[in-house]
Amino acid sequence: MKQNIALYLMVMASLLLAVQSALAQEKNIKDVSQKIEKLSQGLVGRIGVAAQEIGGDQVIAVNGDETFAMASTYKVAIATTVLDRVDKGELRLDQLVEVPPDMYVTGVIALAETFPHPGIKLSVANLIEVMITESDNTATDVCMELAGGAAAVTKNLHRLGITDFRVDRTTRQILMDFYGLSGATPEIVAEAIKNNPELVIAQVDPNPDFEADPRDHATPLAMLQLLLAIDGGTAMSAESSKFLLGVMSRTRTGADRIKGLLPKGTSVAHKTGTAGGIANDVGYVTLPDGRRFAIAVFTNSSKTPVADRDRAIAEVGRTLYDFYYLTAKDK
């Protein structure tokens, strides 16, 4: 009888500790979420965050189920679909693909500006490389075509169980809609941006109509799902995952975003997105002990200076870095 009572008390004590631990963890997550909201106030118009340690089960989210315009972060989904086709044997990474002049799209760093003459052929691997690392729009639309179109990308997301994530347009179509130049050629868009000061201003000012359009939107939690699926082997093979993470680790855009306040040398594999009042960054951060976490930060509708928007994302990155690293050390 005494043994049964002792066993019962041990079980109850164990359950009590587990409950206390769960409540403490829940409080920690609530605290860090509130800290993120407070730090971003005044720096951006609207923010959405979702993060999770790789291999963990606790999700940190701020407005995680609200939809945001993704801008170029949607290129991760395009790359995922292309690599799924590689895994199926329908494409090869070393396969050369022609990039005809009629597919040229204006951008910050565009193939069209680097190679003004016809005759470009790039491998599938190199197209993904510049799409992610330079956010090249021409390469993106070629990759979209290789993926089978926007509908095929969304279908692939649904295959992974990701539903709050829409891919609807090529980057050319997105630019036409953003600048109100539907039907214009890429050359006309580039010329318009060059010659019209109001369009240049529009590149950093919020565009309410564009953001209200539900196309090419996702929730932070949906983007987090995609990041975890890429890393976890459900979105693609281990080899393709290693390839994509390697590409994302070489991203040249957004140095002041997720990476902005992290310790020097911190490994970050990510993809940025920018348009008007939109500044986004999604990817993976490696902690000093080798653990990693996935992070998605969307900010829309910002009227603040660009530096403030980047700072908000950097604050989120550093807050989560400290949370995941320090809480593990306290265990």
DSSP H helical ranges for 1-136:
2-40, 75-87, 111-114, 124-133
Give the pLDDT confidence of 95-150 residue by residue, as tens digits.
Answer: 999 998 888 886 544 576 677 777 889 999 999 999 999 999 999 999 999 999 99
Distance CA 202, CA 235 (A): 36
Give the mean pLDDT of 260-274: 97
Percent of the chain residues topping a pLDDT of 70? 82
* Confidence (pTM): 0.88
The whole-number pLDDT of residue 18 equals: 45
Residue 219 one-letter amino acid: T
The whole-number pLDDT of residue 118 equals: 78
Domain with 235 in it: what CATH number?
A: 3.40.710.10
Q: Between these two residues, 195 and 178, which has the higher pLDDT value?
A: 178
Domain range for residue 223? 45-330
The whole-number pLDDT of residue 133 equals: 97
2 found inside a domain: no
Burial class (CB in 10 A: 0-12, 13-18, 19+), 21: exposed
Distance CA 331, CA 327 (A): 7
121 found inside a domain: yes
The whole-number pLDDT of residue 190 equals: 60
Q: Which residue has the tokens 């959405």?
A: 48
23 found inside a domain: no
Least confident of 16-30, 129-143, 181-195, 234-248: 16-30
Query: How many domains is the chain built from?
Result: 1
Mean pLDDT of the chain: 88
Q: Considering only CA atoms, which of 270, 237, 214 is closest in space to residue 262?
A: 270
Answer whether 325's CB lies under 8 Å from 289's CB: yes
Give, in order, the Cα–Cα distances in Å from 74 to each of 17, 132, 157.
42, 10, 11
Torsion of the alpha carbons at 77, 217, 43 and 221, rounded to the nearest 10: -70
19 found inside a domain: no
The whole-number pLDDT of residue 119 equals: 81
Burial class (CB in 10 A: 0-12, 13-18, 19+), 117: exposed
Answer whether 72's CB lies under 8 Å from 271's CB: yes
Q: Work out whether the CA dihedral 208, 213, 216, 220 comes out positive or negative.
A: positive
The whole-number pLDDT of residue 197 equals: 55
Element (H, E) at 59: strand 59-62
33 found inside a domain: no
312 found inside a domain: yes
Give the mean pLDDT of 294-315: 97
Q: Return the DSSP state at 92.
A: -
38 found inside a domain: no
Give the pLDDT confidence of 146-191 residue by residue, as tens digits.
Answer: 999 999 999 999 999 999 999 999 998 998 899 887 665 656 666 6
206 found inside a domain: yes
Q: How many other CB atoms are found less than 10 A from the CB of residue 151?
A: 11
Q: How many other CB atoms are found less than 10 A from the CB of residue 319?
A: 21
Distance CA 32, CA 168 (A): 34
Q: Considering only CA atoms, which of 258, 261, 309, 264 is closest in space to residue 284?
A: 258
Percent of the chain residues topping a pLDDT of 90? 73
Give the mean pLDDT of 273-302: 97
- How far from chain centre, in Å, is Cα 273? 8
Give the mean pLDDT of 214-236: 97
Strand 217-218 to 68-69 pairing: antiparallel
The whole-number pLDDT of residue 328 equals: 62
